[in-house]
Amino acid sequence: MELTGRITADAKVHSIKDGRKVVRFSIALNDRYKPKGSEEWKQLTTYVNCSWWQRETLAPFLSKGALVELAGRISVSAWKNAAGEAKGSLDFFVSSVKFHGGRAEKKTAANPAAAPAECEAAIDLPF
Protein backbone atom coordinates (compact mmCIF):
# COMPACT_ATOMS: atom_id res chain seq x y z
CA MET A 1 0.00 0.00 0.00
CA GLU A 2 1.19 3.55 -0.68
CA LEU A 3 0.35 6.74 1.22
CA THR A 4 1.35 10.32 0.44
CA GLY A 5 1.08 13.00 3.10
CA ARG A 6 2.82 15.62 5.21
CA ILE A 7 4.72 14.76 8.38
CA THR A 8 2.96 16.28 11.41
CA ALA A 9 5.95 16.42 13.81
CA ASP A 10 9.68 15.66 13.70
CA ALA A 11 10.40 11.93 13.80
CA LYS A 12 11.71 10.37 17.02
CA VAL A 13 13.99 7.35 17.43
CA HIS A 14 12.90 4.85 20.11
CA SER A 15 14.87 1.88 21.46
CA ILE A 16 13.01 -1.29 22.32
CA LYS A 17 13.92 -4.01 24.85
CA ASP A 18 15.90 -6.20 22.44
CA GLY A 19 18.14 -3.28 21.41
CA ARG A 20 16.55 -2.58 18.04
CA LYS A 21 15.62 0.98 17.12
CA VAL A 22 12.46 2.25 15.47
CA VAL A 23 11.77 5.66 13.95
CA ARG A 24 8.25 6.87 14.77
CA PHE A 25 6.39 9.73 13.13
CA SER A 26 2.91 10.53 11.87
CA ILE A 27 1.53 11.89 8.62
CA ALA A 28 -1.62 13.76 7.70
CA LEU A 29 -3.59 12.61 4.65
CA ASN A 30 -5.77 15.41 3.28
CA ASP A 31 -8.82 14.87 1.11
CA ARG A 32 -11.63 17.09 -0.16
CA TYR A 33 -15.18 16.13 -1.01
CA LYS A 34 -18.48 17.80 -1.77
CA PRO A 35 -21.46 16.28 0.09
CA LYS A 36 -24.47 15.39 -2.02
CA GLY A 37 -26.79 18.39 -2.36
CA SER A 38 -24.17 20.85 -1.15
CA GLU A 39 -22.17 23.45 -3.05
CA GLU A 40 -19.51 23.67 -0.36
CA TRP A 41 -16.36 21.53 -0.31
CA LYS A 42 -15.40 19.80 2.94
CA GLN A 43 -11.84 19.08 4.06
CA LEU A 44 -11.13 15.67 5.61
CA THR A 45 -7.81 14.96 7.35
CA THR A 46 -6.78 11.47 8.45
CA TYR A 47 -3.77 10.97 10.72
CA VAL A 48 -1.63 7.84 10.41
CA ASN A 49 1.02 6.70 12.94
CA CYS A 50 4.10 5.42 11.10
CA SER A 51 7.06 3.28 12.12
CA TRP A 52 10.31 2.73 10.20
CA TRP A 53 12.40 -0.22 11.42
CA GLN A 54 15.22 -0.23 8.88
CA ARG A 55 17.70 2.59 9.64
CA GLU A 56 17.42 5.23 12.32
CA THR A 57 19.73 7.50 10.27
CA LEU A 58 16.66 8.55 8.27
CA ALA A 59 15.08 10.26 11.31
CA PRO A 60 16.62 13.75 10.83
CA PHE A 61 15.15 13.93 7.32
CA LEU A 62 11.63 13.09 8.52
CA SER A 63 10.84 16.57 9.75
CA LYS A 64 7.56 18.38 10.29
CA GLY A 65 5.99 19.60 7.06
CA ALA A 66 7.97 17.33 4.71
CA LEU A 67 5.89 15.75 1.93
CA VAL A 68 6.58 12.00 1.78
CA GLU A 69 5.35 9.00 -0.17
CA LEU A 70 5.41 5.84 1.92
CA ALA A 71 5.07 2.20 0.92
CA GLY A 72 4.32 -0.48 3.46
CA ARG A 73 1.64 -2.30 5.41
CA ILE A 74 -1.30 -0.74 7.26
CA SER A 75 -3.01 -2.01 10.40
CA VAL A 76 -5.75 -0.82 12.74
CA SER A 77 -5.53 -0.73 16.54
CA ALA A 78 -8.51 -0.50 18.88
CA TRP A 79 -8.58 -0.28 22.70
CA LYS A 80 -10.37 1.23 25.66
CA ASN A 81 -8.66 3.94 27.69
CA ALA A 82 -8.71 4.22 31.50
CA ALA A 83 -12.05 6.05 31.34
CA GLY A 84 -13.57 3.18 29.36
CA GLU A 85 -13.81 5.16 26.10
CA ALA A 86 -13.18 3.33 22.84
CA LYS A 87 -10.06 4.56 21.02
CA GLY A 88 -8.45 3.60 17.75
CA SER A 89 -5.56 4.41 15.45
CA LEU A 90 -4.24 3.69 11.99
CA ASP A 91 -0.69 2.33 12.05
CA PHE A 92 1.60 2.06 9.03
CA PHE A 93 4.73 -0.12 8.95
CA VAL A 94 6.95 1.66 6.41
CA SER A 95 9.10 -0.34 3.99
CA SER A 96 10.23 2.56 1.76
CA VAL A 97 10.21 6.35 1.85
CA LYS A 98 10.28 8.77 -1.07
CA PHE A 99 10.60 12.52 -0.46
CA HIS A 100 8.62 14.96 -2.61
CA GLY A 101 9.33 18.66 -2.72
CA GLY A 102 10.01 19.91 0.72
CA ARG A 103 8.61 22.10 3.40
CA ALA A 104 8.17 25.82 3.70
CA GLU A 105 11.25 27.45 5.14
CA LYS A 106 10.84 29.44 8.32
CA LYS A 107 11.75 33.12 8.11
CA THR A 108 13.30 34.54 11.25
CA ALA A 109 14.81 37.89 12.16
CA ALA A 110 18.22 36.22 12.38
CA ASN A 111 17.78 34.71 8.92
CA PRO A 112 15.82 37.22 6.78
CA ALA A 113 14.82 36.33 3.25
CA ALA A 114 17.54 37.11 0.76
CA ALA A 115 17.17 40.48 -0.92
CA PRO A 116 17.32 40.60 -4.71
CA ALA A 117 20.86 41.12 -5.96
CA GLU A 118 21.71 44.45 -7.53
CA CYS A 119 22.30 44.17 -11.27
CA GLU A 120 25.68 45.29 -12.47
CA ALA A 121 25.97 47.55 -15.49
CA ALA A 122 25.37 45.67 -18.72
CA ILE A 123 28.52 44.42 -20.41
CA ASP A 124 28.81 44.97 -24.14
CA LEU A 125 28.95 41.44 -25.57
CA PRO A 126 30.16 40.80 -29.14
CA PHE A 127 27.07 38.81 -30.18
Measured distance CA(15)–CA(60) in Å, rounded:
16
Residue 84 lies in a domain: yes
Residue 51 lies in a domain: yes
User: Is residue 73 assigned to a domain?
Assistant: yes
**Residue 85 belongs to some domain of the structure:** yes
Contacts of 67 (CB under 8 A, 6+ apart): 4, 5, 6, 99, 100, 101, 102, 103
Q: Is position 57 within any domain?
A: yes
109 assigned to some structural domain: no
Half-sphere exposure of 121 (CA within 13 A, CB side): 1
Strand 86-100 versus strand 2-7 pairing type? unpaired
Number of domains present in the structure of the chain: 1
Q: Answer yes or no: is 117 within a domain.
A: no
When pLDDT is cut at 50, 70 and 90, the band that residue 101 belongs to is: confident
pTM of the model: 0.74
User: What tens digit of pLDDT does each residue of 17-35 get?
Assistant: 999 999 999 999 999 999 9
Establish if 124 belongs to a structural domain: no
pLDDT, tens digit, 9 for 90 and up, residues 44-97 = 999 999 999 998 999 999 999 999 999 999 999 999 999 999 999 999 999 999
CATH code (residue 47): 2.40.50.140
Domain that residue 94 falls in = 2-100
